[in-house]
Amino acid sequence: MVKNAYIHIPFCKSKCKYCSFISYPKLELKEQYLKALKLEITSKYRNEKLNTLYIGGGTPSTLTVNEIEQLLCLFDTEKDAEITIELNPETMSFEYFRGLKDIGINRVSLGCQTFNDDILKRIGRRHNSQQAIDAVAYAKDAGFKNISMDFIYGLPNQTLQDFSSDLNKAISLGVTHISLYGLKIDEGCYFYEHRPENIANDDIQADMYLNACKIMKENDFLHYEISNFAKKGCESRHNLNYWYNNSYYGFGVAAHGYIEGVRYANKNELGDYIKNPLICADEHKITQREMLEEEIFLGLRKSKGLDISAINRKFGIDFKEKYSNVIDKYQKSGYLNFDGNICNLTESGILVSNVILVDFLD
């Protein structure tokens, strides 16, 4: 049964220079988009009681509380469901948070990226550090207990110290969840064409990451997934659902879902989606082999790693035997732990996880 749903809000007032996602500054299409989105949800959603609901973007805070409420009321949720919204600190107010809280949202994720105002400007963010600090305060005042912040490391001119102080600042503000992403300049973003100077290479990013892991540990954050850290009990249940390779709905333009063994992607052009939100751009029935591979490469993202007996049961394999070469190779070099029941990456393994995951592909 599908117990999780993602809703995509594609609008952004402007595009950040490191971002290669699809987003639209055309807020005038908002109304039509929401109409299409509602049509998709009411057509596809089969009224399961959801465990998690996640509104991401883009910038979901381009919607009013009322608009968000109209989306939420389309769903049935468990009492303790995790309902998250991503926010841009730019336009936050106490009233907005209060409104979100009132309509049932219980987790907010703030795209902070850094507290360094020079860097924020350089990377094309619309907010400044004070607005991010204020946003956390408003959220807390409004009664949010579960507040997440996103940070990017390896930004132009950012030093290891800058990044440490970003994290310490966030911790001191009392956030309960932190996501860390290394700057990656993909095709399609502004920086791809206009490569910034003074960006950290992989070696420095590795140092920044390891240093961050240390800081988070010292402050009682659990490193529960490659890029995510949380106070106990504040892990993102929505994202963990991906890593457990469970099913989920994806609603909205360019959204991805996974239902009954089929991975699907919605149209990623806004006009196309509005015209007919029910036609997928891509659908792929996952084969047994692919499912096993995905179970492994998603599962190894979690610090808990893979539950071997569960995998053996689900796929009718002997994991240890099937992957003995890979396990041997990476266990010896200290990148992988394997004790027969659990298989997970070590901290140094996480940093080079692609190399390891690739060896699990057939």
Query: Which residues contact other proteins by CB under 8 A?
Result: 6, 8, 21, 56, 180-182, 184, 202-203, 205-207, 209, 226-227, 239, 242, 248, 250, 254-258, 263, 265, 282, 284, 290, 293-294, 297-298, 333, 335, 350-355, 357-358, 361
Q: State the minimum distance, in angstroms, from the CB of residue 106 to other proteins.
A: 20
Angstrom distance (rounded) from CA 310 to CA 308:
5
- Residue 341, class by beta-carbon neighbours within 10 Å (0-12 exposed, 13-18 middle, 19+ buried)? exposed
Please say whether the beta carbons of 84 and 107 come within 8 A: yes
Task: Supply 320's token pair.
Answer: 């240890």
Cβ proximity to other proteins, 24 vs 209, nearer residue: 209
CA dist list (Å): 161 to 158, 215, 221, 223, 243: 8, 12, 19, 21, 31
- Three-state secondary-structure class, residue 240: helix
Cβ proximity to other proteins, 317 vs 352, nearer residue: 352
- Three-state secondary-structure class, residue 54: strand
Q: State the minimum distance, in angstroms, from the CB of residue 208 to other proteins.
A: 10
Cβ proximity to other proteins, 95 vs 282, nearer residue: 282
Please say whether the beta carbons of 277 and 37 come within 8 A: yes
Q: State the minimum distance, in angstroms, from the CB of residue 148 to other proteins.
A: 12
Cβ proximity to other proteins, 125 vs 142, nearer residue: 125
Please say whether the beta carbons of 22 and 268 come within 8 A: yes
Cβ proximity to other proteins, 142 vs 254, nearer residue: 254
Task: Supply 4's token pair.
Answer: 């999780």
Cβ proximity to other proteins, 138 vs 330, nearer residue: 330
Q: State the minimum distance, in angstroms, from the CB of residue 143 to other proteins.
A: 27
The one-letter amino acid code at 219 reads N
Phi-psi region of 252 (alpha: psi -120 to 50; beta: other; left: phi over 0): left
Residues 6+ apart with CB under 8 A from 127: 88, 89, 90, 120
Cβ proximity to other proteins, 224 vs 258, nearer residue: 258
Cβ proximity to other proteins, 114 vs 131, nearer residue: 114
Q: State the minimum distance, in angstroms, from the CB of residue 21 to other proteins.
A: 8
Angstrom distance (rounded) from CA 41 to CA 58:
19
Q: State the minimum distance, in angstroms, from the CB of residue 353 to other proteins.
A: 5
Q: State the minimum distance, in angstroms, from the CB of residue 142 to other proteins.
A: 25
Q: State the minimum distance, in angstroms, from the CB of residue 204 to other proteins.
A: 9
Q: How much helix, strand and coil, in percent to the nearest 5, is found in the chain?
A: 40, 25, 35
